[in-house]
């Protein structure tokens, strides 16, 4: 999977600008599904017909990543920006960003080397190498993503946009490996999760699933002096119990845990105190959908160097395949 992961994480795709990621995924799966379409909000929906007697299952992995959007260009050609999604100023100074047209910029602060305080947003700017406003190659309203290459550390993988291209990679790989299933499965690659679960909200309404499975990253408690959390890199994918936006129904998480146990797949139990995923949007669709989440443990979430464990990723693929092939009795 590593080559697929590399392609996905290095693609440009801040919230609302997922086209490059969508085209990449569609090219990899088009010949493997019965139907494929893009809806009005840009969600990619790939349908695999079941053999009969099963449920209508929707998987959801969001394609978008956090980023910046240009709000103002000054006379010297420096850009002022606002966050797209959960971007933290402490991670930004000295980082590079890339716009849709390929233009690279460097983030800095007005008080460079003059303060140990975290810079507020109104003191941050992006330098694209312009000498004046007249030769700035981007405009107000243009969005940028972090510019950082994929790094294969062997067991551990590092890149920008692991949140949530790694979930997309798991979703995609499960589609390729699934084979026959009694269930009608809708593999959905959603948009605009980082700004409010917007793509999953409309795609779940359109698909009308009987069961939903979201795929995303989750935090860990295994780094020095980390906030206590019973999740570590390398101990398997997690099965979500609760986060800030959802409580997974007991029947769903029991189905997921029992499936993992039966298949001999190592997993962890996740309670995420802050943060949410597409699970909540799917669960609240129409009159309600029983929905759960498989998460990939990830260090340094919402930075330009997010880290996952390759064994956890492969375990997530195995678990998703087993769930999609099972006779669901929820």
Average pLDDT, the chain: 96
* C-alpha distance from residue 3 to each of 10, 124, 131, 157, 159 (Å): 11, 35, 39, 12, 13
Nearest to 8 by CA among 44, 36, 41: 44
Q: For 2-38, what is each residue's pLDDT tens digit? A: 999 999 999 999 999 999 999 999 999 999 999 999 9
Q: Would residue 193 show up in a list of annotated catalytic residues for this protein?
A: yes
297 three-class SS:
strand
Distance CA 155, CA 163 (A): 18
pTM for the complete prediction? 0.96
125 three-class SS:
strand
Confidence of residue 117 (pLDDT cuts 50, 70, 90): confident
Mean pLDDT across the stretch 240-269? 97
* CB-based contact 236:268 (threshold 8 Å): yes
* CB-based contact 163:302 (threshold 8 Å): yes
2-65+160-325 adopts what CATH topology?
A: Aminopeptidase (3.40.630)
Domain locations in the chain?
Answer: 2-65+160-325, 67-146
Nearest to 300 by CA among 95, 21, 3, 16: 95
Determine the pLDDT at residue 111: 84
Cα pseudo-dihedral 314, 320, 325, 330, rounded to 10:
150
Q: 152 exposed, middle or buried (CB, 10 Å; 0-12, 13-18, 19+)?
A: middle
Is domain 67-146 classified as CATH 2.40.30.40?
Answer: yes
Distance CA 163, CA 237 (A): 14
Q: For 189-212, what is each residue's pLDDT tens digit? A: 999 999 999 999 999 999 999 999
Distance CA 142, CA 182 (A): 45
Distance CA 10, CA 58 (A): 26
User: 193, 270, 306, 322: which one is catalytic?
Assistant: 193
Nearest to 90 by CA among 307, 308, 304: 304
Structure token digits, residue 30: 């088009």
């Amino acid at each position: 999977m590593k080559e697929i992961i590399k392609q996905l994480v290095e693609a440009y795709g801040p919230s609302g600008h997922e086209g490059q990621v969508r085209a990449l995924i569609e090219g990899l799966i088009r010949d493997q599904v019965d139907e494929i379409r893009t809806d009005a909000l840009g969600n990619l929906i790939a349908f695999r017909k079941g053999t009969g007697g099963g449920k209508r299952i929707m998987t959801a992995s969001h394609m978008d990543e956090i980023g910046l959007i240009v709000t103002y260009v000054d006379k010297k050609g420096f850009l002022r920006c606002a966050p797209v999604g959960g971007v933290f100023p402490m991670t930004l100074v000295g980082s590079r960003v890339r716009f849709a047209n390929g233009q690279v910029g460097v983030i800095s602060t007005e008080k460079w080397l003059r303060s140990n305080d975290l810079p507020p947003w109104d003191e941050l700017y992006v330098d694209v190498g312009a000498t004046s406003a007249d030769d700035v190659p981007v405009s107000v309203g243009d969005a940028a993503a972090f510019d950082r290459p994929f790094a294969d550390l062997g067991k551990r993988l590092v890149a920008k946009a692991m949140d949530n291209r790694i979930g997309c990679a798991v979703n995609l790989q499960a589609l390729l490996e699934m084979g026959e299933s009694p269930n009608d499965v809708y593999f959905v690659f959603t948009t605009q999760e980082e700004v409010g679960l917007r793509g999953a909200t409309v795609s779940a309404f359109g698909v009308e699933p009987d069961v939903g499975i979201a795929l995303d990253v989750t935090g860990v408690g295994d780094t020095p002096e980390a906030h206590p959390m019973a999740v570590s890199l390398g101990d398997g994918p997690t099965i979500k119990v609760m986060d800030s936006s959802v409580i997974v129904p007991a029947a769903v998480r029991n189905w997921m845990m029992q499936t993992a146990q039966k298949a001999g797949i190592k997993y962890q139990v996740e309670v995420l105190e802050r943060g949410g995923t597409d699970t909540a949007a799917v669960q609240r669709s129409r009159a309600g959908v029983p929905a759960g989440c498989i998460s990939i443990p990830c260090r340094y979430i919402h930075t330009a160097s997010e880290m996952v464990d390759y064994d956890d990723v492969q375990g997530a693929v195995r678990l998703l395949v087993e769930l999609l092939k099972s006779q669901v009795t929820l």
